[in-house]
Amino acid sequence: MGYGKLLNIANTEVTLRAALRLAMNVYDNPDELVDVLFEKYPAMTSSSTQERTEAAGQLFTDFLFASGAYNEAHNHALYANTSCLLFP
């Protein structure tokens, strides 16, 4: 069994969209959020499973690590008692 053959949420675009819809279900507008994610990561609509898997991996990596780091930097810039530069 090769990489990404079993339990790969990016196996098809339909399963990827359904998994993202489930993850965004806690928000008021999950369908719009999923559409924005597909616009931000256009490789998720690729016909290649490998490209979809890599794009989904990049999405979840950004979601777990980059968004937290950006949020921390943003809050530090807002509430720090000294000047702070924020590079988006």
- Decide: 83 and 34 in contact? Cβ < 8 Å: no
Answer yes or no: pTM beyond 0.85. Answer: no
In a domain, 6, yes or no: no
Domain that holds residue 48: 13-79
User: Is there a domain that residue 85 lies in?
Assistant: no
- What is the count of structural domains for the chain? 1
Residue 40 in any domain: the answer is yes
pLDDT at 1: 46
* pLDDT the model gives residue 9: 83
User: 50 lies in a domain?
Assistant: yes
Count of C-beta atoms within a 10 Å radius of residue 8:
15
In a domain, 84, yes or no: no
User: Which residues fall within 8 angstroms of residue 74, CB to CB, at 6 or more apart?
Assistant: 86
Report if residue 49 sits inside a domain.
yes
Could you tell me the pLDDT band of residue 62, with boundaries at 50, 70 and 90?
Answer: confident
